[in-house]
Homo-oligomer: A and B are copies of this chain.
């Protein structure tokens, strides 16, 4: 018997899970034990039907006439997102963006541990940023091997970004988030997600001119 094929979760649903998680954590902080699809909908700006469909694919246990158990949902979504493994992340580049990320509290809250901060500039190596010490980029393979981080954030100047990505891939990193205005290339097995701020702005500008 082969491994049970987990039902594939639609991409659109995956993209919304973190949004639900955020809302659910707020509910948990407010000590609400139960939450209805309608309430989750208004908290997230989605429709109640969409919420129910999404939670259904998680195999989540809702109670008719009552709602969903907040704790159970948080656990289920965390599990589905793979956060139970406590993924650790490494940040490459100790410039403004890298430092901002290193000091960002939101990661820990949501199951990510920042394992290391690297920079190629010897002048930056040794600097203390929050609880981290900037390490030389040459240490990358060793850190990845030891703490097994699978996600890296690339926050370096564009000209060296591809080189950094290549090093990350060589070191065994399998997921990369970057902020470049250019496309980066990675082998097929590596997940790459790029957030281009100018693109975000352009989308805003367009929506505005369309009055949509």
- Map CB proximity to B onto A144-174 as digits: 1 under 8 Å, 0 otherwise: 0000001101000000000000000000001
Q: Given A45-B183, A96-B100, verify A17-B200 contact (CB < 8 Å).
A: no
A175 sits at the interface (CB 8 A): yes
Binds B, one of A31-39, A65-73, A135-143, A191-199: A191-199
- Evaluate contact between B181 and A22: CB separation under 8 angstroms: yes
Q: Given A18-B199, A198-B110, verify A95-B100 contact (CB < 8 Å).
A: yes
Q: Closest B-chain residue to A45, C-beta based?
A: B183
A interface residues, tally (CB under 8 Å): 65
Contact of A207 among B14, B19, B89 (CB under 8 A): B14
A204 sits at the interface (CB 8 A): yes
Contact of A202 among B26, B83, B204, B209 (CB under 8 A): B83
